[in-house]
Structure 1
Amino acid sequence: MPEVRLDLRQPHRQLVEVELHVRARPHPQRLRLPAWTPGSYLIRDYVRTLEDLHAEAEGRRLPLERTGVAEWLLDASRIRGPVTLRYRILATELTVRTCHLSAEHGFLALAGVVLLVEGERWSPHRLELWLPPGWQGFVPLPVDGQGGWQARDFDQLIDSPVEAGPHPEHAFEVQGVPHRWVSWGGDLPRHDPSWLSDVARLCHQCCLLMGEPAPAAPHYLFVLHQPLSGYGGLEHDDGCVLLYGRQDLERPEGRRRLLQLVAHEYLHQWNVRRLRPAELTPYDYDRPTIVPTLWFAEGITSYFDQLLPVAAGLVEEQQLLDDLGADLSRYLLTPGRHVQSLRASSQEAWVKLYRQDAHSPDCQVSYYLKGAVLALVLDLRLRRHGSWLGAVLQQLWRSHGRCRRGYREADLLEAFTGHDPDLATLLPQWLDGHQDPPLHEELAGVGLRLVSEASSQWGCGFKAAATAGSLTLQRVERDGPAQRAGLLVGDELLALAGRRLRSPEELAAALRATEPDAPSMPLLFCRDGRVRETLIDLEPPPLTVWRLELDPAATSEAHQGRRRWMHLQP
């Protein structure tokens, strides 16, 4: 049984000392460090943080041959006893999928820490932590009675996030299942006495959504990181890691947004972790795996994470409409939705979604965002046909999730068409097409409408920000006035129609002063140290926001349907 010992006793160095004890084999063994962690579909090349790997046995070093960027060949065929692998991991990056060690805490995403030893993937692994005085470790694994933890195999080990520090731990139960809440950067349950009871209600509501009497996990660990700013979450089989900035929590909508993040990651213990795409069964830790159904794995979860707090009685109906309206507005103002299909967004996650740049809004759409929009359309449509989206999710859980049988897109299509035969044709069109699903029509069925608002100034087709006393282009819209005028991201704006530009406020004033029938406007800008001039043809004020509102002409039947929908009632 491989044994992993992690030494965090010098946190100021931000280095994790790793010892991996393995048994010698009569043939050379390959060692590999995963390139990514499940739930975050980007090759992260964790090997960039690994230092000074060497192998020891019987008082001497053994040869290690590097056969790949993150792969080595260990020859211990002449060794009878155990072999010890030693190396260090640089822990300086605070996200939910990387490693961070400081004098205040330690967090380890074990996919970036533990080597996979050939022949040992499905063997039990033991984990032990060496910590500074006063610290304790928080790990969603069974304790082994010897001061450590034991995983049934390598997959369960690296699926278990490690948090360590002098943190308070809060225990509560959900339907008899033990849960723990651990925070770094603030003790939320102490400052918000109703927090744990609200989280328990929210977790119970997730169980109800899935048609289950209790959570899927036998025990569950919440880890919350609260730096000054930041946002993120990563799901695991028996826990999750949340990152939520203290500044965000202090905003009026902060607590509600955090509840939605909790709902999202908690629901993932069913949808994604156990009800898993077949392409991820088992995981290939070395290379990208194309998953065309990420729209279901993440989009469906993103859709329900806003409804679950309402159904649990923790969020008001109007607050849901505000939040949902903001997401729908963001979607409708994303031009990339007409370029990239939802299926393509899922398939290209590895190279696009997690690698955003100034041009991304024009050529792609998030499978989280459009997946949630499609989930909304599907839910409202199914309700008109006497079913609802929760029934489809429960059916797939029973057929594929409980037994951890991976599903493919054909399985999803079969499940949906069992509730609405027309979806056999419509759903593939919505997945492959570049047009919006019938969002406005389905919202009207529950007494809602989307109302647009236009800007108060002429459209210039770019976004600019003040940097070091100058106004620099951060985005140039595809086929917009700025692109037609030859402007590029990074250009420094100097003057518009003779008016000096140094800030967004001065730009807004210059645009407001433009006459409706004005000809092309002269624009002075600087690129690569050279001052240039162009003419820009402004457009009528563009749409800047969509708002979700109650339709005053809606029928009483539509109002009743809306209340059932908002509270997750079939």
Structure 2
Amino acid sequence: MSRLAVSACLAALLIASASPSAAQTTPRGPTTPDIGGFPDSPQIPAPTQATYPGVIKYEVDATDLDHRVISVRQTIPVASRSLTLLYPKYLPGNHADSGPIQLFAGLTITANGQRVEWRRDAVDPYAFHIDVPAGATEIVAEFQWLTQSDNANWRVVMTPSIVNMEWEKALLYPAGYRSTGITFAPSIKLPEGWQYGVALETTSFENGVATFAPVDLYTLVDSPMFAGAHYRRIDIDAAGDDVHLNIVADNAENLAPTDEQIGLYTNMVTQADRLFGSRHYDKYEFLLALTDQLGGIGLEHHRSSENTAGPNFFTSWNASAGNRALLPHEYTHSWNGKFMRPADELTANYNVPTENSLLWVYEGQTEYWGDVLSARAGLHTKTQALIGLADRAAFYQNQPGRQWRNLQDTNNHNLLGYRIPGQWPSWMRGTGDYYDEAALMWLDADTLIRELSRDRKSLDDFARSFFSPEGTNGSWTPQGYTFADVVAALNAVQPYDWATFLRTRLDAAGPDAVAPLDGLERGGYRLIYVEEPNADEKAMSSNWGSDFRYSLGFSLTGATLRIGAIQWGGPAFEAGIGAGWDLIAVGDRVATAEVLRNAVTAAKSGNAPIRLILRQGQRIRTVELNYTGGLRYPRLERIQGTRDRIGEIMTARSR
């Protein structure tokens, strides 16, 4: 079996669909008495290789902007007397059981014009059991997705001018089948005058109703839509007409990328071609919303991606540098995460649990390539790229959570509670680590390959061979990979004990565990701290003036100067400061970030501690910090006389 022969095609990879052991629910216990007139829930059928008979007609109405309600009507062919319908639970790209069934409402089922009662599964609330009436050949299911007006619990997907249609949050599908074995015929009604971007094939668009060619459930879920009153579609494919930037905006004046800005995204597509050497899609549609009303998102799909940026992303370009790596990151996922995917994330359907053991490749190496492509395309200058790298390195150099929790375990974070923020991020560790710390690990690997090969090989060679296996150009049937596959591919580029290299960095925890920063010095730079950021550093971080993480051990946010991001074991922590306090005074002066910065600088003399007056509700307290280390902001400093490998990594490829 070849290195990448985990699977030849999606049907073979979805091996869980072929055996009863892949059932997506907890096995039922002994039959219990019938309580309240409801029989015990039947077993939920496990997905099999069979194809669901017929085509499910799927009609969406997204015109109720006032109530922010999306209404759905599904006409489902039936061939048996019993049917279980599933609401998607494990959502692709979320790596967790995050399907928002709490927003699913109004389920009404009819057959031959008569109401049919349903009952929710007693163990799995994402499953609905139906006894189909004799003689019925189809049922009609109608329901609503109650989208939210704020981002408190779920992100906003409907605004007066934009709808982000994520089909998997507003559909039901038959249990017992693979997502590739169920065919949907989708359509959507949009507000009058709206346009849209989507990777589906439009067969008609009349009177506000867009109808699409029938697709399997897998492709439907992987093809979200951005629709809006203000819309523009731009070709960014220098090699053809297969990659487009679809922009929706709160206001028409924001649909104004310059030719130069468009050229940078065209460069990004070209540099990705040169990195990976092939394309695994028939077309690719970037979906970009310029908004402060829609909930923020950056979510990968095989032939598209969902992205948001501020309304002035293009019109205030110099202020948007921090968000420019988003599209390169999501585009990289077309190769890493969608075409080549961790084998344990290739589940049969959306109610089979996902496993996340390789997110440090799926997300971590994607984060690495997203930053590299940003620099190679010119979306970031080399200076900006180095500033971002310094910030990442400093965070992990100062992260105490590694004492108890290794990087490998953070891959489970989403399953512990989907991206729930904590009050002690430096101690808890979490989602960001399998992105950002893993990206540092891949820089370490890249520079090591370069050093060992005398700069004849690099991680580029890994990317081309691993994410674009020979003979797969143009194919977009997902293939799975394992840890052993990653190690074998690295060894094929440059022989080394890559298994130990990776496991050492993934599994290290304890007082002696350190961040994977060797790639910095091997790349020609060292991490230092300065007391005053330069103009470029200030431009890259709008909140630099309120960031005291590497001095006092916290940051300030909002008009109340709320203390947050408290460093576990830092000066503020040791003085007994926890989350939720507002800074109201520094010494005898009303608090501002500038006043606090001046106090930190003055305290270097050691003549007096830094005195903070804090408020939390009705409580007032005074805290003295005996800190004399001055302000500390991270920077990468060039090591003279060494090879600038990081600079070479960021340099655009000519072929």
2:369 aligned residue (259, 281, 304) = 304
Quick one: distance in 2 between partners of 1:328 and 1:353? 25
1:321 aligned residue (386, 406, 410) = 386
- CA-CA distance at 1:518 after TM superposition: 5.5
Q: Is the 1:202–1:263 Cα contact (8 Å) retained in structure 2? A: yes
Matched, 1:100 2:157: yes
Quick one: distance in 2 between partners of 1:196 and 1:512? 44
Tell me the secondary structure at the aligned position of residue 225 of structure 1. strand
Name the counterpart of 1:384.
451
Structure-2 change in CA distance of 1:565 and 1:476 (3 Å): closer
Matched, 1:33 2:108: no
Of 404-413 and 178-187, more deviation after overlay is shown by 178-187
> Unmatched 5+ residue regions in structure 1?
none
- CA-CA distance at 1:528 after TM superposition: 6.3
Bigger RCO of structures 1 and 2 (CA < 8 A, at least 6 apart): 2
Opposite residue 164 of structure 2, the aligned amino acid is F
- CA-CA distance at 1:359 after TM superposition: 0.7
- CA-CA distance at 1:494 after TM superposition: 6.4
Opposite residue 427 of structure 1, the aligned amino acid is L
2:508 aligned residue (433, 436, 453) = 433
Name the counterpart of 1:157.
220
Tell me the secondary structure at the aligned position of residue 296 of structure 1. helix
| Cα displacement string for residues 75-100 of structure 1 (whole angstroms, at most 9, x for unaligned residues) | 214242321100111233688x9662
Structure-2 change in CA distance of 1:66 and 1:177 (3 Å): same
Matched, 1:567 2:651: yes
Q: Is the 2:98–2:418 Cα contact (8 Å) retained in structure 1? A: no
Of 272-281 and 406-415, more deviation after overlay is shown by 406-415
- CA-CA distance at 1:73 after TM superposition: 0.8
Matched, 1:23 2:99: no
Name the counterpart of 2:288.
224
Tell me the secondary structure at the aligned position of residue 341 of structure 2. coil
Q: Is the 2:296–2:308 Cα contact (8 Å) retained in structure 1? A: yes
Matched, 1:59 2:113: yes
Of 392-401 and 289-298, more deviation after overlay is shown by 392-401
TM-score (norm 1): 0.86
- CA-CA distance at 1:303 after TM superposition: 1.2
Q: Is the 1:129–1:137 Cα contact (8 Å) retained in structure 2? A: no
Of 108-117 and 477-486, more deviation after overlay is shown by 477-486
Quick one: distance in 2 between partners of 1:191 and 1:512? 42
Q: Is the 1:57–1:83 Cα contact (8 Å) retained in structure 2? A: yes
- CA-CA distance at 1:135 after TM superposition: 2.3
1:442-457 equivalence runs, <5 A: 442-453=519-530
| Cα displacement string for residues 204-234 of structure 1 (whole angstroms, at most 9, x for unaligned residues) | 211211122xx21101111111113875311
- CA-CA distance at 1:465 after TM superposition: 4.9
- CA-CA distance at 1:544 after TM superposition: 2.7
Structure-2 change in CA distance of 1:235 and 1:94 (3 Å): farther
Structure-2 change in CA distance of 1:466 and 1:324 (3 Å): closer
Task: Name the count of aligned residue pairs.
Answer: 558
Tell me the secondary structure at the aligned position of residue 168 of structure 1. strand
Quick one: distance in 2 between partners of 1:523 and 1:56? 66
Name the counterpart of 2:4.
none
Q: Is the 2:557–2:563 Cα contact (8 Å) retained in structure 1? A: yes
Structure-2 change in CA distance of 1:165 and 1:116 (3 Å): same
> Unmatched 5+ residue regions in structure 2?
1-54, 534-547
Matched, 1:202 2:252: no
Name the counterpart of 1:474.
564
1:539 aligned residue (613, 627, 630) = 627
2:467 aligned residue (361, 382, 397) = 397
Structure-2 change in CA distance of 1:460 and 1:501 (3 Å): farther
2:168 aligned residue (76, 89, 111) = 111
Quick one: distance in 2 between partners of 1:235 and 1:22? 29
Task: State percent identity of aligned pairs.
Answer: 22
Structure-2 change in CA distance of 1:319 and 1:488 (3 Å): closer
Name the counterpart of 1:178.
242
Structure-2 change in CA distance of 1:528 and 1:547 (3 Å): closer
- CA-CA distance at 1:32 after TM superposition: 1.7
Structure-2 change in CA distance of 1:445 and 1:414 (3 Å): same
- CA-CA distance at 1:25 after TM superposition: 3.1
Name the counterpart of 1:407.
481
Name the counterpart of 2:498.
423
- CA-CA distance at 1:513 after TM superposition: 5.4
Name the counterpart of 2:41.
none
Opposite residue 526 of structure 2, the aligned amino acid is R
Quick one: distance in 2 between partners of 1:59 and 1:205? 56
Tell me the secondary structure at the aligned position of residue 394 of structure 1. helix
Structure-2 change in CA distance of 1:131 and 1:145 (3 Å): closer
Tell me the secondary structure at the aligned position of residue 100 of structure 1. coil
Name the counterpart of 1:371.
438
Quick one: distance in 2 between partners of 1:76 and 1:314? 56
Opposite residue 168 of structure 2, the aligned amino acid is A
Name the counterpart of 1:267.
332
Q: Is the 2:563–2:580 Cα contact (8 Å) retained in structure 1? A: yes
Of 237-246 and 35-44, more deviation after overlay is shown by 35-44
Structure-2 change in CA distance of 1:179 and 1:337 (3 Å): same
Quick one: distance in 1 between partners of 2:499 and 2:417? 29
Q: Is the 1:448–1:550 Cα contact (8 Å) retained in structure 2? A: yes
Opposite residue 421 of structure 1, the aligned amino acid is Y
Tell me the secondary structure at the aligned position of residue 280 of structure 2. coil
1:131 aligned residue (185, 190, 204) = 190
Q: Is the 1:495–1:525 Cα contact (8 Å) retained in structure 2? A: yes
Q: Is the 1:526–1:532 Cα contact (8 Å) retained in structure 2? A: yes
Name the counterpart of 2:136.
80
Opposite residue 546 of structure 1, the aligned amino acid is P
Opposite residue 162 of structure 1, the aligned amino acid is M
- CA-CA distance at 1:274 after TM superposition: 0.8
Q: Is the 1:292–1:347 Cα contact (8 Å) retained in structure 2? A: yes
